[in-house]
Amino acid sequence: MSDAPGSDPREHAWGKGLYPRPTSEGRSRNMRANRRSDTKPEVALRSALHALGYRYRKDLRVDLPGGARVRPDIVFTARKVAVFVDGCFWHVCPEHGRQPTTNEWYWTPKLRRNMERDRQANAALRGAGWRVVRLWEHESLPEAVDAVVRAVGPASAECKFEGTGED
């Protein structure tokens, strides 16, 4: 195994045991298709909120006092509301999350770290005066929209110009 430029970094990581080899090419394609942002539930929620007149920032890094950095899926900066649309597998949904049965040595600690990062992000945001809305990907669109609207308040002229630089 060579560390020379052009060598496959995945081969290097697999060789060092940093993460497991995929069980098949199909599984590998499936995992590569997972998105960090712009997931279907997130896009549907953003579209519904936009249609109601809400304006927001998407995937905006929020730098908080104390050095914490958080990247919510949807951010209402003026109203200090951070919205996360969490995937059931990646964030261990109590209803749909499941323990992996293959490569548990890798997945169990990874999923625990995701849960801990979520807790830390919530605490940091709330400590800085933000409201946090966490939604599961399986929640119905009307329920998700309702949760965000309750946290943000009515769409107003202030909300309509959110994040555009216009006041």
Give the 3-state DSSP-derived string for the chain, with helices as H, strands as E and coil as C: CCCCCCCCHHHHHHHHCCCCCCCCHHHHHHHHCCCCCCCHHHHHHHHHHHHCCCCCEECCCEECHHHCEECCCEEECCCCEEEEEECCCCCCCCCCCCCCCCCHHHHHHHHHHHHHHHHHHHHHHHHCCCEEEEEECCCCHHHHHHHHHHHHCCCCHHHHCCCCCCC
- Indicate if the pLDDT at residue 68 is higher than 60: yes
Q: How many residues does the chain have?
A: 167
Task: Summarize the confidence of residues 102-128 as an average pLDDT.
Answer: 90
Percent of the chain with pLDDT over 70: 73
- Are 13 and 22 in contact, with CB atoms under 8 Å apart? no
**What is residue 27's predicted lDDT score, i.e. its pLDDT?**
58
**What is residue 120's predicted lDDT score, i.e. its pLDDT?**
95
- Are 133 and 81 in contact, with CB atoms under 8 Å apart? yes
**Low-confidence winner among 56-60, 107-111, 147-151 (lowest mean pLDDT):** 107-111
The per-residue pLDDT for range 5-54, each reduced to its tens digit, is 556 766 766 677 666 666 666 655 555 556 667 789 999 999 999 999 99
Beta strands at 74-76 and 62-63: parallel, antiparallel or unpaired: unpaired
Task: Summarize the confidence of residues 120-133 as an average pLDDT.
Answer: 97
- Indicate if the pLDDT at residue 144 is higher than 60: yes
Q: Which one is predicted more confidently, 130 or 90?
A: 130
pLDDT category at 148 given cuts 50, 70, 90 is very high
**What is residue 39's predicted lDDT score, i.e. its pLDDT?**
87
Amino acid letter, residue 61 = R
- Indicate if the pLDDT at residue 84 is higher than 90: yes
- Indicate if the pLDDT at residue 78 is higher than 60: yes
Which two structure tokens, joined as six digits, stand for 84? 């996360």
Name 81's bridge partners: 76, 131
Percent of the chain with pLDDT over 90: 51
- Indicate if the pLDDT at residue 104 is higher than 90: no
pTM of the shown model: 0.76
